[in-house]
Amino acid sequence: MFVLVMIMLLLFPSEAQEGAREGLMFALENVIAAILPFAFLSGAMIFSGTAEKLGNIFAPLFKKLKMNPYGATAFVAGLLGGYPTGCNMACQMYSEGLFDKEECEKIVSYTNNGGLIFALNICGEMFGSKRAGALIFISSAISAFVAGLIFAKGNGEERLIHTKKLPFMAAMGKSIAASGSVLVNILSSFIVFYAVANALSLYRIPFLQGVFEMTKGLGFAGEVCSIPLGAFFFSLGGAGIFAQSAAICSGYDVGLKRYALCKIFQATLSFVITYMVVNRPFLGKDVILFSVLCVIAVVCAFKVIRRLCV
């Protein structure tokens, strides 16, 4: 990856410079304002003990599904805040001693997702319809949860751990101080990966551009009017999001192998769900029900395959 980045930057310096400028402006105008408030709030939830209370609410359901109950809190925060809110919240909870390293890797694998505001505004603008943005978001969220059921299962015996709580305003202040590195990571990844994506230039390999930088892929999907392809890039996140997540997780010695496999599965399932919905207009009013049926079918197929392989 490092060699490819260096080659692209050296061979196409002007395109890379233009891409870096574009990435910086896009991050400042569209991403930072949407993500940082949720990053501050998610940190405050952890330090004030609110995350622990939410974990208690969802504990019975998640234990029944053999998943860590704190995963519900990070999952919801990730869907509201977008990349990399879920990853950041999971790592902060791990640092507070709410679960061990292995559980953190499991939670990160399915809670780091694209956000609702981003989907409605950015994806909606690229496809000329907020309904398209909502469909992309719903398919991505369902696919992420299914990926969690498959890749993040434990033994169902995780216990909620009580930690020291701070008053909410003190917790918010601590969260703001802790979120400074998140801002740096987001800006840096947008600059570097927009530069590389632009250097893969002149629309010769637009799909590869999307693999490197999610918003480039969404733009390409919007140009060819392919909502399923947009759902794929939105769920995958791309190398830029992976770099943001890696920067956060490296500070906690949390690995991302499970996360990478989970993202590939999630993006593929999201593409399939969205494709089936888009190509069957008569199901337009039953998108959620149809998506749930698709999820059930995929889970059942996975269980059958796993039993056959044992």
The whole-angstrom distance between residue 65's C-alpha and the CA centroid of its chain comes to: 21
* pLDDT, tens digit (0-9, with 9 covering 90-100), for 44-83: 776 777 766 776 777 777 777 788 888 888 888 888 778 8
Q: Which of 83, 86, 80 is nearest to 104 (CA)?
A: 86
Tokens, residue 303 = 């269980």
Q: Provide the residue ranges of all domains of the chain, joining segments of one domain with +.
A: 2-309
SS (H, E, C) 123-187: HHHHHCCHHHHHHHHHHHHHHHHHHHHHHCCCCCCCCCCCCCCCCHHHHHHHHHHHCHHHHHHHH
Q: Report the pLDDT value the prediction gives residue 202, as an integer from 0 to 100.
A: 45
What local confidence, expressed as pLDDT, does residue 186 receive? 67
Kindly report the pTM of this predicted structure: 0.75
The pLDDT value recorded for residue 110 is: 93
Where the chain has pLDDT below 50, the residues are 202-203, 282-285, 305, 308-310
CA distance 9 to 246: 21
Backbone angles phi, psi at 237, to 5 degrees: 85, -40
pLDDT score recorded for residue 185: 66
Give residue 291's pLDDT.
Answer: 58
At residue 150, the pLDDT reads 86
